[in-house]
Chain A
Amino acid sequence: MAVKGLDIFKLSPKKNCKECGSPTCMAFCMKVAQGAVPIENCPYMSDEAIALLSDATAPPMKTIEVGGHKLGGETVLFRHEKTFVSPTRYAVALASDDADADEVLEAIKAVDYERIGEREYVEYVFIEDKGGDVAGLVQKVIDAGRGAIVETTNTATAEAVLAVSTDVIITGADASNWEAMNAVVGGKAVLGLKGSPADLYDIADALEKADNKKLVFDVTADTVKKTFENAVLVRRSAIRDEAKVLGYPSIVNLTKLAPGDIHMQTALASLFTVKYGSIVVMEKMTYAEALALYGLRQNIFTDPQKPMKVEPGIYPLNGADENSPCMLTVDFALTYFLVSGEIERSKEPVNLLITDASGMSVLTAWAAGKFSSSTVQKFFDEFQIADKIKNRTLILPGKVAVMKGEIQAKLPDWNVVVGTREAVEIVKYLKDKEYVAAAEAAAKSKAPADSTGPAIITEGPIDYDKLVIPEIPHIDMGVTYKQRDPDSKKFVTIGERIHCISPVIREAMNNFDAEPILKRAAEQIKAGATYLDVNIGPAESNGPELMTWAVRLLQENFNNVPLALDTANKRAIEAGIHVYNRTNGKPIVNSADAGSRIENIDLAAANDAIVIALCSADGIAKDNDERMEHCHNMLERGMGLGMESTDLWFDPLFLVVKGMQDKQMDVLNAIKMFADEGLKSTGGLSNNSNGAPKEVRPIMDSALVAMCMMQGLTSAIINPNDRRTMETIRTCDIFKNYELYSDSYLDF
């Protein structure tokens, strides 16, 4: 486990002198944490601080690697606090004098299967030394591709085993013989200790002082109750009560607690999978036990921060075959369960096609460019859908009807049909066979294969002369955007209401219909928005035209209102900036992240734009160490390309209270860290109140924005028509002395 960068930062001089070669103390500490630079590069770190650091930053539980698996390394007692990292491993016990040892090993091999991308099998064999050729057995275990654990108090046996392999656990040391066992095993293999938590503490403490930190604890006692107590107290003391000496993985041997009772062993294996067993030893593992226990383990050890995803692919439902129609949707697990459930209820055979959309819902994925005609085409190629399925009817989710033309163009052999908007309508839709007529109509209306229109250009410089921009109407909406000082310290509100997720806007953008867009712009400007966000969706076929049109439309009608250009289509952003007027502020590129969208920083740098930089790669950052790591990666990239640090606006990613209440303070603290480094920040603040009653949302949003502004947040992407939040922001600007007070300061 990595040392925590933020802990180092607390002890650093925080003077940002740059003498170490890093731009800030924070950046330096993050690099130290990653092991990229030695802490001694900082001339001002005191000896005391360095000594303190090695202690304070040691992880609460060591990670022990043996037999190809990592054990331990946990940092929390409950998975919702962050995540568990090292899944419980299962072992089958084998007595060294067992005449049927070969059969036992064969039986172990029988259970070996895959479950949601994970190999499920018995990872270890626990050999109990009852005399005979223990070392020979270890060799057989290793040959079978399993890790070996040997329980012995015989040093000669231990030596013989070590001659075969040192990648083993040798357990059996207790208060009476640990010195002798350590003399043989220490420094070579992992040594297993037995005893009460107090005994384990003393032995481990002595061994650590003798520099042996390759340990595991066998916490098995005489009774189930005592064993559970040992397992919990060892783990809890290490993680909660800072008894780091107890921070080692634990073995629980169920063959001693419930010999001959496989059902009881299953019950206890489940208990110790949930509560703190690193290796659970059983008498046998057949499919009956494995299917349940491995399923449980996979659930308990999933990362709560990662979106729930199902595997992309073809899911034939209700006995569907190659002649059944296809329905397409995204890999967000809730979407999958809802859609597949409704299809099953219809009893109609359908091939459900699940495409990789990073675990986002249909509209969110579409708006983020993760569910587009190109991703669908890629999916069809990768999974060879056309070879596997003969039926050519492809039903799209109704919410992305706008993609129909683009998908039809990319999959000319298919008959693309728009399905229902909501899953609950699916049963009726399939039973009524509405799609059959629609597919026939689609087949008829298709243009001949050789005239599918001009190819979509995605590479090379944009030829601006060739862009055909529809007319820009000039309509008096009764609102003017007031001239603004781009260097003003006042809080920057970015109005979020011109967004293609809104059906009205989607429709308007599809038809280059100016009025609905201008109407929303006028409402937001009137309400006091500083910037307007312009989300045109993925706009794969006409991004540059659409963005050019939208930028000119808004800026020409509203006195060069500054804009945030929001699309996954980079060429569209480039084209938008090409016609952008900077009088009231630079354009904002919305957005880059530290993962697959990092290149949007390059785009901003090349065009002297501001970029919103999401402090995440794939999925939400698990803690502020990770957030700050992403922040500094992006900061360094931008500055390396000549950007001002203040042109990167860092987004900590606001999290929804209903579901991630315990992470809200992390977000607030991240904002403070950005501010402490002189960095600007922004984000979709109203996400916090998603799903809350509509009368509660403005209260939550305004309270949060006040707390955020205290922490140093400089901007937010919000709905400016929420008066309460806008008044709170204005009032905070008064307190921050960015806006001069008058009795009627709220009359904006």
Chain B
Amino acid sequence: MPFVPKVSAYNAKINTLVIGTGEKALKLGGNNTLPFYEFDAVSENKPAIGVEISDLALEEYVQPGLKSFYEGCDTIPAMAKKAQEIPGASFIALTLASADPNGANTSVEDCVALVKEVADAIELPLAVAGCKNIEKDAELFNKISEALTGKNILVLSAREENYKTIGASAGLAYGQKVGAESAVDINLAKQLNTIMLQLGVSADAIAIQAGSAAAGYGYEYVASTLDRIKNAALQAADTQLQMPIVTPVSTETWAVKESTLPQEEQPEWGDPEQRGIEMEITTASACLACGSDAVILRHPESIKTIAGMIDALTEVK
């Protein structure tokens, strides 16, 4: 008798979260195996890649390769439109970094106007990330959700301190999808999902944002948190953790010194853009291997590569 390895799909599965509308609507999650364990069961949906466009991109996306990709785009909506051409891009993640009260403090009205312009310029589904300021994000997401009613966007994210406002507006009043963000801790992730559900937000309107870190920067906590969430959701059938996981990768990886240090300061390290791409690829691949149902990336080269890896590993029903 030849040896036959045991296969084990789970009875429980990850919720399917839909963002966007119409033909380009995107389904996240829906699987009943660990990531890429297609020998246990074929995937329902592939992991997805969101393309990060910061509202500061015109000033901050300075790497030559990145800059040349967006050559000729002189507005954020134009960049977002262009980003859709990257092979493997399945949604646009607009980040309102300039809204930070400790930074440029762009007004809520201006942010809403920008988000509307971007939404009108693109066909792919839209995710909108805030500026990480608790009060400002609550206000932003409230107005943005209202302005984009019917677009079925994903707002990133509600946290324990502002989930009531964001959950009530984005999740309940305006029917958008809401990320629930906690700081790399499975107990906190479950707690936030529990109270969001108690608030009345539907389980299939929630994505888990379980925190993020660049490879080498405490990534082990991200890995173990993702591993444990997926195990709890599938093996223990914990309904409060069965939401798909969305992980922003680029904001972490393009900020570490491996990606930013100029070549003059460390000649043997070589071209910083290549370092940044490999850092983004490495971190994204590790996140997907541990359980992210979607990653948010910046560089077209990284996106193309990660999309290629996802395609090579999955064979959707």
Give A residues with C-beta under 8 Å from B: 78-80, 110, 115, 197-198, 201-202, 223-225, 228-229, 232-233, 236-237, 240-241, 243, 261, 263-264, 266-271, 273-275, 286-289, 291-296, 298-300, 302, 304, 308, 333, 658-659, 661
Whether B275 is near chain A, meaning CB under 8 Å from some CB there, is yes
Segment with Cβ contacts to A, from B127-135, B197-205, B309-317: B309-317
- Give chain B residues whose Cβ lies under 8 Å from the Cβ of A304: 220, 224
Complex-state Cα separation, A201 to B6, whole angstroms: 13
The residue in B274, B279, B281, B314 that gathers the most chain A C-beta atoms within 10 A of its C-beta is B281
Query: Which of B182-232 touch A at CB < 8 Å?
Result: 185, 187, 214-220, 223-224, 227-228, 231
Instruction: Output the nearest chain A residue to B220 by Cβ-Cβ distance.
Output: A299
Chain B residues engaging chain A, CB cutoff 8 angstroms: 2-6, 36-39, 185, 187, 214-220, 223-224, 227-228, 231, 258, 268-271, 274-275, 277-279, 281-286, 288-290, 301-302, 304-306, 308-309, 312-315
CA distance A269 to B37 in the complex (A): 17
B309 lies within 8 A of A268 (CB):
yes
Q: Is the CB of B224 within 8 A of A225?
A: no
A743 to chain B minimum Cβ distance, whole angstroms, is 41
Partner among B269, B281, B286 whose Cβ is within 8 Å of the Cβ of A287? B269
| Cβ-defined contact, B281 with A263, below 8 A | yes
Chain A residue, CB-CB nearest to B306: A267
Chain B, Cβ-Cβ closest to A112: B268
Q: How far is the CB of A12 from chain B (nearest CB, A)?
A: 32
Known: A224-B312, A267-B285. A659 touches B224 (CB 8 A): no
CB of B5 within 8 A of CB of A233, answer: yes
CB contacts (< 8 Å) of B302 on chain A: these are: 263
Candidates A80, A202, A295, A300; contact of B228 at CB < 8 Å: A80
Q: A263-B277, A266-B282 are in contact. List 16 more A-B contacts (CB 8 A).
A: A198-B2, A224-B313, A232-B37, A232-B39, A240-B6, A263-B278, A266-B278, A267-B309, A271-B285, A274-B285, A274-B286, A274-B290, A289-B278, A294-B216, A296-B215, A299-B223
Q: Which of A198, A269, A295 has the most chain B CB within a 10 Å cutoff?
A: A295
| In contact, A658 and B187 (Cβ under 8 angstroms) | yes
A292 touches B270 (CB 8 A): no
Let me know if B282 and A293 touch, CB within 8 A. Answer: yes
CB of A229 within 8 A of CB of B39, answer: yes
Are B258 and A224 closer than 8 Å at their CB atoms?
Answer: no
Contact A241 B5 (CB under 8 A): yes
| Identity of the chain A residue whose Cβ is nearest the Cβ of B253 in the assembled complex | A292
Does the CB pair B224–A237 fall under 8 Å?
no
Most buried by B among A288, A302, A659: A288
Residue pair B3, A201 in contact (C-beta under 8 Å): yes
User: Which of chain A's residues have a CB closer than 8 A to the CB of B220?
Assistant: 79, 299-300, 302, 304
Q: Which of B36, B271, B282 contacts A267 (CB 8 A)?
A: B282
A658 CA to B219 CA, complexed, in Å:
19
Known: A78-B224, A237-B5, A266-B282. A292 touches B38 (CB 8 A): no
Q: Is the interface of A mostly helix, strand, loop or mixed?
A: helix
Q: In this complex, what residue of B is CB-closest to A110? A: B268
* Residue contact B313 to A197, C-beta cutoff 8 Å: no
Chain B neighbourhood of A263, CB < 8 A: 277-278, 281, 301-302, 304-305
Report 11 cross-chain contacts, Cβ distance below 8 Å, ordered by A residue.
Answer: A78-B231, A201-B2, A232-B37, A263-B305, A268-B309, A270-B215, A270-B289, A293-B215, A296-B282, A299-B215, A302-B220
B309 close to A291 (CB less than 8 A) = no
Q: Which residues of the other chain, B, contact A228 by a CB distance below 8 angstroms?
A: 36, 313
Which residues of A are found within 8 Å of B274, using beta-carbon distances?
288
User: In the complex, what residues of A have CB within 8 A of residue B304's CB?
Assistant: 263
Residues in B neighbouring A267, C-beta threshold 8 A: 281-282, 284-285, 305-306, 308-309
Tell me the minimal C-beta distance from B58 to chain A in angstroms: 26
Name A225's contact: one of B217, B258, B312 (CB within 8 Å): B312
Who on chain A is nearest to B272 by CB? A288
Q: How far is the CB of A334 from chain B (nearest CB, A)?
A: 10
CB closest chain-B residue, reference A302: B220
B283 touches A296 (CB 8 A): yes
- Cα distance, A266 to B6, chains bound together (Å): 30
> Which residues from B are CB-within-8-Å of A78?
224, 227-228, 231
A243-B3, A296-B215, A296-B219 given; A273·B275 CB < 8 A: no
- Which residue on chain B has the smallest CB distance to residue A84? B220
Given contacts A224-B312, A299-B223, A271 and B289 within 8 Å (CB-CB) = yes
A273 / chain B contacts, CB cutoff of 8 Å: 286
Return B148 CB to nearest CB of chain A, in Å: 33
Q: Bound state CA distance, A269 and B284, in angstroms?
A: 12
Closest Cβ of chain B to A231, distance in Å, is 11
Given the known A-B contacts A274-B290, A288-B278, A659-B187, are A295 and B215 also in contact in the complex, defined by CB atoms under 8 Å? Answer: yes
CB-contact partner of A275 in B219, B289, B315, under 8 A: B289
Residue of A nearest to B282 (CB): A292
Q: In the docked arrangement, what's the CA distance between A614 and B185, Å? A: 28
Alpha-carbon distance between A165 and B231 when the two chains are bound, in angstroms: 45
Residue of B nearest to A692 (CB): B187
CB of A274 within 8 A of CB of B223, answer yes
A291 to B: closest C-beta gap in Å = 4
Q: Across the interface, name the chain A residue whose C-beta is closest to B36.
A: A228
Evaluate contact between B216 and A295: CB separation under 8 angstroms.
yes
Judge whether B6 and A241 touch: CB under 8 Å: yes
Q: Is the CB of B270 within 8 A of A288?
A: yes
Q: Which residue of B lies closest to A269 (CB)?
A: B282
Chain A residues whose C-beta falls within 8 Å of the C-beta of B290 in the assembled complex:
274
A225 touches B228 (CB 8 A): no
Chain B residues with Cβ under 8 A from A266's Cβ?
278, 281-282, 285, 305
Which residue on chain B has the smallest CB distance to residue A197? B5
Chain B residues, CB < 8 A from A289:
278
A294 shortest CB reach to chain B, Å: 7
Q: By the criterion CB–CB under 8 Å, are B268 and A292 in contact?
A: no
Residues of B within 8 A of A271 (CB): 285-286, 288-289, 309
Question: Who on chain A is nearest to B7 by CB?
Answer: A233
Question: In the complex, how many angstroms separate the beta carbon of A605 from the nearest chain B beta carbon?
Answer: 41
Flag if B223 contacts A229 (CB, 8 Å).
no
Nearest chain A CB to B10's CB is how many angstroms away? Answer: 14
